[in-house]
Amino acid sequence: MAMWENMQRAYSNKMGIQINGDDMPDVSKMSYQVGDLDTSGSRDATGLLHRARVATKINYEFSWNALEWGMLQWILTHINAEKFTLTAPDPRSFQGTYTGNYYVGDRTGDCLYYLEEKSDISQYSLKLKFIEY
């Protein structure tokens, strides 16, 4: 049971996203990029590519649309390290998960505030870019 299951709003973890083994709430939107890293590459006179691929990296962008303040803080605390382990759906097959060492790039978000009859309510959005080492 994740710590955040006791919050007012119900969050699920059906996508299996984890940071350092801790369950993260399912995202509202996920984008990904699978890219190859080469140490060198060149084409010969016939146009044939000669390359030295050294790794394939997966980068993610996760967005949450409506988070409570406590959940926003919980997520930001978990990604505040210089390097951490991220487990997320594997975009090469979507039949399992991929685990790698990551850091977070840009962090953006919005706050929606409105007054209901008896209470003030705020909802927070968050967008994070996860970049693989």
- 117 assigned to some structural domain: yes
Give the contacts of 133 (CB within 8 A, at least 6 positions apart).
83, 100, 101, 102, 103
Cβ–Cβ contacts within 10 Å for residue 35, how many? 10
- 77 assigned to some structural domain: yes
Residue 127's domain comprises 17-38+49-132
Q: What is the mean pLDDT of residues 83-92?
A: 95
Domains identified in the chain, total number: 1
- 7 assigned to some structural domain: no
- 108 assigned to some structural domain: yes
Residue 118: the pLDDT is 63
pLDDT in tens, 10-49: 788 899 999 999 999 999 999 999 988 888 888 888 888 8
Which of 32, 39, 38, 52 minimizes the C-alpha distance to 132?
32
Backbone angles phi, psi at 76, to 5 degrees: -60, -35
Give me the chain's average pLDDT, please.
87
More confident residue, 132 or 8: 132
- 127 assigned to some structural domain: yes
| Tokens (6 digits) for 42 | 């060149």
- 5 assigned to some structural domain: no
Check whether 68 has a pLDDT greater than 70: yes
pTM: 0.80
**pLDDT category, 5, cuts 50, 70, 90?**
low
Q: Residue 72: what residue type?
A: L
Query: What is the C-alpha to C-alpha distance for residues 126 and 12, in angstroms, rounded to an integer?
Result: 17
